Amino acid sequence: MSADRETNQGMAHGDTAHADIAFLLADAADEVEIGIAPYQAVVRGGRRRRARRWAVATAMAMVIAASTGTLALAGIGNGDEVTQVAIRPPTAQERHVYAPQRTTLATGTDAGRQWMVTIDVWGAPKNESEAARQFESMGRYGVEPSDAKTPTELVGKGSFFVQRIIGDNMSTVMLGELDTSDDMSGTDLESAAIPLEPDTSGVVGAPNRLVIGNVAPTAREVTCTWDDGTTSVAHKVPANFAVNSKEPVIRPVEGSQAAWFVCLGGEGKGSGSAKVTG
C-alpha cells in the first residue's frame, strides 16, 4: 500500500507539474501574436486591447464619414450587420448663406495706386426663410442680386459679386447666379473688360485694360490679347498661390465650381480678346 501511495503521490505531483507547465505555456502563448492576427485572435485578445482597436476604428470612421456623408461599418460583430452612421447636414452659416466667402483674385500697384479685384460667393438658400435672411444680409453688404427682385427668387441659387477696388473706391463690376447645372468645360470662357480707373467708366475712348473672367476648372492657360497685338498669359495656380500683379493667373474660388482670372493691360492698352489656350 505504501508503494501504491508513493506511486499515486508521484503521479499526483507529476500531474500538477504538467498542469502548471501547460497553464504557463498557454498563458505565454496568449501574449504572443505572430504575423497578422486572425479575427478570432483579435476578439480573444482581451477587453483592453479590443477597446483600443475599436477607438482607432471609430476615429478613422469619423474622418471617412466627414468626406462621404454616410458610412457603412461592416465586419465587426455579426457579419450580417451593417451600421449606418448619419452625418449632420451643414448649417446655413456653414454653407455661407448669410455671409459670403471672399477670394482675392488679383492685386497690384498702378501709377502709384493700389488696386485689387475680389469676388464674394454666397451659398444657395434652401427655403424662403433662409432666402429672406440672405436678402437682408446682401443689403448690409451693399449688393443686390442680378435677377432676383424678391427673396423667394433666391431659393436654390448661389450668387457671386466681383468688386474692383482702387484707392478708396470700391465698386461691384460683375455679378450673377451660380447654377451647378450649367458647369463650364473645355474652352468655355466668360469675361468682361472694363477700365481700371472707376472715374473713366463710360468715358468714350477710355481703355478697357482690366479683364476679369471665369473658365472651366480644367483650363490651364488663358491668353488676353490687347488692341496693340501684345498678349498677357494667365496660368493655372493652386488656391494658396500668392496674390500679386507680376503675372496674371487662373485660380480656384471658394464656393464656385469655375476658376477665375484677371489680366491687366499696360497704360493706354485696351482689350482685344480673351481665350482659353491651354
Residue 96 lies in a domain: no
Residues 161 and 238 in one domain: yes
Per-residue pLDDT of 76-104, as tens digits, reads 345 555 556 568 889 988 999 999 999 99
For 36, the domain range is: 2-86
pLDDT at residue 149 in the model: 85
- Greatest mean pLDDT among 24-33, 172-181, 252-261: 252-261
> Is 222 a domain residue?
yes
Query: Are 190 and 267 in a shared domain?
Result: yes
Are residues 118 and 54 part of one domain?
no
Give me the mean pLDDT over the 104-124 stretch: 93
Report yes or no on 147 lying in a domain. Answer: yes
pLDDT at residue 85 in the model = 59
| Residue tagged 441659387 (cell numbers) | 157
> Looking at 51, 86, 121, which one is the last position of a domain?
86
Residue 218 inside a domain? The answer is: yes
92 is a domain residue: no
What's the rounded Cα separation, in Å, for the pair 37 and 202?
76
**Selected residue with higher pLDDT from 82 and 252:** 252
Tell me: pLDDT of 130 over 60: yes
Average pLDDT over residues 149-165: 93
Q: Does 15 share its domain with 118?
A: no
Residue-wise pLDDT for 30-71, tens only, equals 444 444 433 333 333 333 333 333 333 333 333 333 333 433
Is residue 117 a contact partner of residue 104, using CB atoms and an 8 Å limit?
A: yes
- On whether both 69 and 188 belong to a single domain, the answer is no
Average pLDDT, the chain: 76
Domain's final residue, options 31, 53, 86: 86
Please indicate, yes or no, whether residues 19 and 53 belong to a single structural domain of this protein: yes
Band of residue 192 on the pLDDT scale cut at 50, 70, 90: very high
Residue 222 has pLDDT above 80, yes or no: yes
Q: Give yes or no: residues 123 and 256 share one domain.
A: yes
Q: Are residues 40 and 157 in the same domain?
A: no
- In a domain, residue 32? The reply is yes
| CB count in 10 Å sphere of residue 172 | 14
Would you say residue 64 lies in a domain?
yes
User: What's the DSSP call for residue 153?
Assistant: G
Domain end call among 43, 61, 86: 86
Which has the minimum average pLDDT: 77-81, 106-110, 194-198, 222-226? 77-81
Q: Are residues 28 and 70 in the same domain?
A: yes
If asked whether residues 201 and 245 sit together in one domain, one would say yes
Residue 95 lies in a domain: no
Helix (H) or strand (E) holding 262: strand 259-264
Domain count, the chain: 2
Bridge-partner residues for 245, per DSSP? none
Dist CA 263 CA 274 (whole Å): 9
What is the DSSP track for 77-123? Answer: SSTT-EEEEE-PPPPTTTTTSSS-EEEEEEEEEETTEEEEEEEEEEP
Based on the fold, state whether residues 77 and 197 are members of the same structural domain. Answer: no
Q: Are both 122 and 254 inside the same structural domain?
A: yes
Structure confidence at residue 243 as a pLDDT band (50, 70, 90) = confident
